Amino acid sequence: MAISRRSALAASLAGGAGLLFGGGLGSAPARADTAAGGAAGPDEALRLLEEGNERWRNHAQTHPNEGRERRQELLDGQEPFALVLGCADSRVPAELVFDRGLGDLFDVRSAGQVLDSSVLGSVVYGVHHLHVPLIVVLGHASCGAVTAAVEVHRGAPMPDGHIGYLVERILPVVDSVPDDGGDGFIDACITANARYIADELAADPELSGAVGSGDLRIAPARYELDSSKVNFLD
């Protein structure tokens, strides 16, 4: 019997998802114990991230889950204990900021944490198929994407092309923040953007059920470049 192109594509994606994301949907997940990186739920996952960030900012990193044994474990699959939706900024790599290792975090990054279908699909994959109990929306000080939106808000021309797309997605958040003309406005917009993205995720039909049941927590946060500290906003 002939197979339609749509059916063939669906079968291909289902079979190839493990290659794309690092572990087949039916494969046995690899999980370290709680001390090494596993988490029983949202509160435990948040605690592990807070402890890791404290080590990072005090220059006391332990670099967990980087050795040969961990790499071997992950050949059988993955079960990260948190998903970090962060900015693409090179100064805010999640594994370093939270002092975590291989298989601990499911990273999704876009400038300004802007949501589009690709980003949302990656987040939903982490929740539905990897069963992460915690999503951290990680904004950061001196975010270039938010700063560009602030400049447009204050009268600069809209950038062309793909950069303009990013600014257009952030601009409504910037427009909603009272602008007193001071330097603190950019910081206020960075914080508001992280909260806005977290609220958008919590309201998404493919995520809201897990949030409502308590299986998933979505936490907005921001990283301070000067202190290396992650401040959770809620």
Indicate the annotated binding residues for Zn(2+). Answer: 87, 89, 140, 143
Question: Cα(172)–Cα(167) distance, rounded to whole angstroms?
Answer: 9
Strand intervals (E) in the chain? 82-86, 105-109, 134-140, 217-224, 229-232
Number of H helices, E strands in the chain: 9, 5
Question: Cα(126)–Cα(52) distance, rounded to whole angstroms?
Answer: 21
Residue 205 backbone dihedrals phi, psi, to 5 degrees? -60, -25
Torsion sign across C-alpha atoms 92, 97, 102, 107: negative
Q: Which residues are annotated as a binding site?
A: 87, 89, 140, 143
Question: Cα(31)–Cα(37) distance, rounded to whole angstroms?
Answer: 8
Question: Cα(105)–Cα(211) distance, rounded to whole angstroms?
Answer: 19
